[in-house]
Every structure is written in structure tokens, then in C-alpha cells.
Structure 1
Amino acid sequence: MPQQRYPKVEILSVQPHEIKFILSETDTSVANALRRIMIAEVPTLAIDLVEYADNSSVLNDEYIAHRLGLIPIRYQKPDSMKGSDCTDAFLPHHECVCYEHCLRCSVEFELDVSYTVNGDEDVLAPLTVTSRDLRSNNELVHPAHFLSSDEQEEAQDDGIAIVKLGPGQKLKLKAIARLGIAKEHAKWSPVAVATYRFWPNIVLNDERLATLSMEQKQELVDACPDRILEIDQTTGKLQAVENAWDICTYTEDLMYAQNALKRRKEDDDFVTVTPSTDRFIFSVETTGCMDADEVLIAALKVLKKRLNDLARELETIKEMNS
């Protein structure tokens, strides 16, 4: 009978646009399932339909529609709905009973920008149309203009640039945002980066290291391009640096260096660095449509639902065969 596991999550750092955490006491299958769900199965809002009334810009309709679809759309939940996300406020469009779109399954944005100049004025610089020009019919839904305050301070525009207009040009359209997942299209993905690394198990063989001189220990330190080892200035012992888990890259340089220091090929290694099979370091960066902690919570909800659905299917099959 397989041993029951109780996975744990340890938060290392959390910011609105980024979260780092450790997933432990589980295996690669669960870690990879969580990563794939964060990338492709967390529901978000994205512009899916665009209706043009006027477009005299240098970009054609399809190009602008593609750019609009990639603008992160953020649902700002009210204080009275803490713990909820956009799935509590909107239905997937294929589940709604409306004819085209309604307030229950979509959000409508309007954009109307024109570059007008008087005849006696000189030709001015192009006018940049950005995400701030989109007007939503839902006060809780708006484009995520910047990923962070630092990005906003460094930006040259007021938001995400869509197109530049010259004198006399105009862009007027209506865009419909719908709920979806990235399995259908990448524009619905809430993350820009979602990766995990194996926790490094660094084992120092003190008995074998005691046979090395200080110069040989320094050779082992210098052999690691990721600098996971250091020499204690007080005791002279070789040890792992404090943040070795964060910078370890499992290079083979250390293996080659210590093999050269061995007297016999079959001697034990001085230092062993192996990836853990039940501890993983996750790094997740969002696109701005959701906070990083919200993405993690939503992914865990989706994973729980998938497992519950699987359990129900197994129970159904068991009852049919009994």
C-alpha cells in the first residue's frame, strides 16, 4: 500500500507580481502538475472579440486585435468578496445562456482616440494610444497598465502601448473581454514565468576533506562556477554558503575537480551535490492580471477540483462494475 503524503508549502518571498516558495514532501508529478496548472488552467479575463468603427492607423485591424488580446485584464475584487476571484464573478462564455455576450460572462471596453490638429499647426510627434484609453463598463475590471510601481516609474508611456497615431488618424473600437484558460489561447495565461528547481542536497565528507590542504580546498571552491562552497576563516573547514540552495546549478566542474584530487578512482567524493526528489523551489512571475499569491491559490483550487473529479469517476466505474 502506498504511503500517504502531506505536501507542504513554505513561502520564501511574496510580492504582488512575484512569489517564491518551497513545495516539499511530494514528488515531481505533483510539482509539475501545479506548474502546468498555473501556466495553462487558471481562469483569467482577456479581450477575445474586437469590433471596429474606425481605424485609420498604420496597423491593420487584426494586428491591433492581437495586441489588445495580450493586454492583461485585472479583476479587482471588492473587500466584501475576499478570497474570491474572477471565476466567482463571471461565467465562461460557452456556459452562459445569453445570445452573444452579457454582463455575466463578459466585460465591454470602448476605445475612441483621434489625433486632430489645426491647419496652421506644425506636424507634431505621433500620439501613442495605450491601455489607459480603454474604458470599461465594469468598475471592478480594468487593464493592468504596469506590472509594478518600479516599472511605472521607468515607463515612457502612460500604459501598455497599442498603436501610434499620426495627425488626422483615428482609432475607434469596442472590445469584449471573456473568461478563459491558456489551454485555449496563451493570452489567458496569468503567469509570464512559472518554474521550479530541485532542492540541492549538499553533503560534505568531513573525513575525506580533512586529508586536503588549504590549497586543495580552495581548488574545490574555485571549481564551482555557482560558488556554493566557501572556507570558514575561523576553523578552516569547507562548508556550503548560506544561500547555496538558491544558486546551485548542478554543474559537473566540481566533480572533475575532486576527481583530480583523489588518490584512487574508487575513493569517496569530498563533496556530493544531488537534486532532492521531494523538495522543489518554485519561482512564479505574473503578467499583472492577478497577484502572484492569487495565482498559487487558484492553481491549488483547480488541482483539488481535478482530483475530486477523478475520485468521482473512479467511484462511478466501481459502482458500475460491482
Structure 2
Amino acid sequence: MAPVVPSQEELDHRKIININAETVTNISSTDFPGHWPGEDHEWALDKFRRDFRVEFFQNEPYEASFSFIGVDASIANAFRRILIEEIPTLAVEYVFIHLNTSVIQDEVLASRLGLIPLQGSVEGINWMRWFKKPTDDDPQGGSSPSDYNTVVLYLDVECTINPNAAPDEDDPRELYNNAHVYAKDISFLPIGRQEQFFVGEGAIRPVNPDILIAKLRPGQKINMELHCIKGTGADHAKFSPVGTATYRLMPDIKILRPIIGDDAKKFAKCFPGGVIGFETITSEEASQKGSGYEDHAGEQKAVVRNPFNDTVSRECLRHEEFQGKVKLGRVQDHFIFNIESTGQFPSDLLFLESVKVLKLKCARLKRDLSTLMR
């Protein structure tokens, strides 16, 4: 029996999740998403290339926004989870406190330092190896600090009175030297082969130099050594390379019946700015019987301008005058990603790193399957 070939109208219908006033319908209910009984769903590289697209909307150093079109939700979610948990970065793990006479407790100060995002040469971070931590079962089994697994930072700050301060000055930052300790006070000293990678613009340093670490007063001092290692967000959030990594489905707005005049203005207010626009009804449209534009030539009608900006709030479904005139939905295979980098990697490079991780996972799975088949 030849496989069933669905019509283009049916294929378009399957892609849209219906957003109703109180329910969501037309979600995938088959055993395998995207597969339908009696149809041929054999995967082919040419078909994937034809249907798959990536479209960038924003590409800033710390934030990227792009569309990921033509894949299943499981693939999109795999990339999201990899971005959050599995791309290795550098963070402070061990803090050796030589002196801390500030009002902040040692443990709190160490925790604050660990959460400061660091940046440096991506090539150098990829060159570094993993630092194996000792365990309760094997306290002596951990790695020894070396140039290839540990980056050493220093924080040595003492607060003193500023002899040049004005007599009527009341700002502690003017009265004292080093009254505020910032991330820029952290210094880096490359060791061994680190001098080949972490030099110049590639030196290890805080992403934001103005992060406030502590406040000191005359006589108080902080002197500590910070050991940074590679880790992943699955181990601790401080190793996560992203502030947020999210995706949403592309909104779909269809105006089924004409919305004209004051109703069009009210309809536009139900959506974020730029989603709904206006067009003048032409005499040709007004002359077509059954179009809904009869005797409305020259008036304004509502049209969909940019559904990308819509939040699918369903506000328009609350008003009786729009009942049966609009249909809301989301496109199932159109994912709008938004990635905010903490600074160690450029935002667009982060997604490429997630692709590398997924490829390694696939290669590992393929190798294990080959082993099972032997």
C-alpha cells in the first residue's frame, strides 16, 4: 500500500498550535512527534536541509536572538539544556584566605567571589584540562594544581585614610583609599604555559570590573588567593556561561474577518506595539461582495505586521466584537531563542559550542551502539 501524501493545507494546519480563550489545542498527540499513521516519514538529509533555517535578529556580544526553524521541540530543548549546563567555563572554586578583617564573613566573601563571571582567551580555556576534586571515599585522589588545570587570581586590598580629602567631605570613597573593593581589584598572574594563552586581551579578568565585593574602613584588609578551575553548570550555577537561555514558539495571528475603523484601533491595543498595523481599504476591496469591506472604502483596516513581537496574551479574545474574527496560535517548529552570555563567551559563539557538545554526545552514542552490536 502506497503511503498517504498529505496536502499542503494539512501540513500547514499541523504546524499550528491553537491558542484559545482558555485552552490550547492541536498539540502533537502521536506516539512519535511529527509522525502520522500511513505516511512516509523517513528522515532524509536533503529534506532536512530544505526545511531547516536559522535567522538572526540580534547579535550583540552579550545577547543574541535568533530563530531555529524546522526541528522538533526535543532538539531545541536539548540545545537549551546544553547551553545552561554543559558548556565548560572558568570560575573561582577554592579561596585561600590569608587575611580578612572586613565585616564580611570568610564563607560569604568566598561565595561572592565564586559568583563573579570571568573572561579570558577562549582558546586558553579550551586548552585547560579538568581539575579532579577529591571525594569523601578518596580524599587523596584529587588533582594537584598545575598550569593546565588551575588559574590563580589574587585579591590584596587595604583601606587607609586619604590625607588629601577635603575637611567637609563625607563620602567614604573620597575620605578613604580602597573604601570599596571592586572586581577590578582582582589581579591575575599567568603561570607556566598560561603565558602562551592568557595574555593581553586574553588575560583572565572579571567580565564587569565594577562588581562590588566588599566595603572597608581604615585598618581593614583583605588578602586572599583564588584558584579557578573549569566546570559546568550541571555542577554549580557559577559555571553556567549564560544568564538566561530561553526559547519560545513563533506566534501566529490570523485575521479571519475584517476589523475596521475604531474596532481596528482597539484591536491593535490588545497587542504589543508593532504587531498590528493599519491599511486603507481600497475601492477594489470595497466593491467585492462578501468581502466585508462593502461601503468602507477609505477607512482603516487592521493587518498583522510583526507577529514576532507578540506575547500571545489572548487579550483580544476577551472582547465580544472580535469573536470569530481572529485566530491565535504558535508555530510548532519555529523556535525563537534568546541567549544572554555572562561574558566568558560571545553570545553567538555559545550556540556553536552547544552544537559541538551535542555532536560529541552523538558520537559517543554511536560508538556505544557499535559496541553493543558486536
- For the pair shown, which has the larger CA radius of gyration, 1 or 2? 2
1:100 to 2:132 alignment: no
What is the total number of aligned residue pairs between the two structures? 288
Q: Are 1:143 and 2:143 counterparts?
A: no
- Are residues 226 and 28 of structure 1, via their aligned partners in 2, closer, same or farther at CA, if it must alter by over 3 Å? farther
1:85 deviation in Å? 6.3
The answer as to 2:170 corresponding to 1:132 is no
In structure 2, distance between residues paired with 1:120 and 1:42: 49
2:125 paired residue among 86, 90, 103: 86
Question: Which residue in the other structure is 1:152 paired with?
Answer: none
Alpha-carbon offset, residue 48 of structure 1 = 0.3
**Matching residue of 1:252:** 314
Query: How do 1:157-196 residues align onto structure 2 when only pairs under 5 Å count?
Result: 159-196=210-247
Which residue pairs with 1:150 in the alignment?
Answer: none
Give the deviation of 1:293 after TM superposition.
1.4
Q: Distance in 1 between matches of 2:366 and 2:348?
A: 27
Report deviation, 1:312: 1.8
CA deviation profile, 1:255-314 (whole Å, cap 9, x unmatched) = 233x5455xxxxxx4222211111111111111222111211111111111122122222
Who is 2:89 aligned against? Answer: 44
Higher mean C-alpha deviation, range 224-233 or range 26-35? 224-233
1:59–1:163 contact (8 Å) kept in structure 2: yes
Cα drift, residue 213 of structure 1: 4.8
1:50-82 deviations in whole A, cap 9, x for unaligned? 0011110111111111011011111224xxxxx
2:120 pairs, out of 33, 54, 75, with: 75
Q: Secondary structure at the match of 1:37?
A: helix
Q: How many percent of aligned residue pairs carry the same amino acid? A: 30
TM-fit CA distance, 1:230: 2.6
Match of 1:202 in 2: 253
Name the SS of the counterpart of 2:204 in structure 1: strand
228-237 or 160-169: which moved more?
228-237
In the alignment, what sits opposite 2:43? 3
Aligned with 1:311: secondary structure? helix
CA contact (8 A) 1:145 1:159 kept: no
Q: How far apart, in 2, do the equivalents of 1:117 and 1:200 lie?
A: 60
Residues 271 and 310, structure 2, Cα contact 8 Å, conserved in 1: no
CA contact (8 A) 1:196 1:281 kept: yes
Residue aligning to 1:293: 348
8 Å CA contact retained: 2:132, 2:143: no
Aligned to 2:267: 220
Counterpart residue number, 2:17: none
For residue 15 of structure 1, what is the amino acid of its counterpart? Answer: E
* Aligned position for 1:230: 277
Structure 2 counterpart of 1:59, which letter?
A: I
Cα distance in 1 for partners of 2:325, 2:164 equals: 81
1:24 aligned to 43, 60, 69, which one? 69
TM-score calculated relative to the size of structure 1: 0.80
- Once the two structures are TM-superposed, the CA of residue 227 in structure 1 deviates from its matched residue by 6.2
SS at match of 2:356: helix
Partner of 2:194: none
Give 2:189's aligned amino acid.
Answer: N
Structure 1 unaligned blocks of 5 or more: 78-83, 147-157, 263-268
Post-superposition Cα deviations, 1:216-250, rounded to whole Å, max 9, x if no partner, equal: 44443344466632321364443112x321x2111
Q: Which residue number in structure 1 is paired with residue 105 of structure 2?
A: 60
CA gap 1:189/1:60 in 2 versus in 1, 3 angstroms? same
Q: Distance in 1 between matches of 2:343 and 2:355?
A: 19
State the shift of 1:106 in Å: 1.1
Q: Contact between 2:91 and 2:118, CA under 8 Å: does it hold in 1?
A: yes
Is the 1:107–1:141 contact (alpha carbons within 8 Å) kept by the matching residues of 2? no
Q: 2:6 — aligned with what?
A: none
Contact preservation (8 Å) 1:73, 1:141: no
Counterpart Cα distance in 2 of 1:292 and 1:225: 26
Secondary structure, aligned partner of 1:304:
helix
Moved over 6 A (4+): 118-123
Q: Distance in 2 between matches of 1:252 and 1:233?
A: 26
Residue identity matched to 2:279: D
Higher relative contact order (CA 8 A, sep 6+): 1
| Residue of structure 2 equivalent to 1:240 | 304
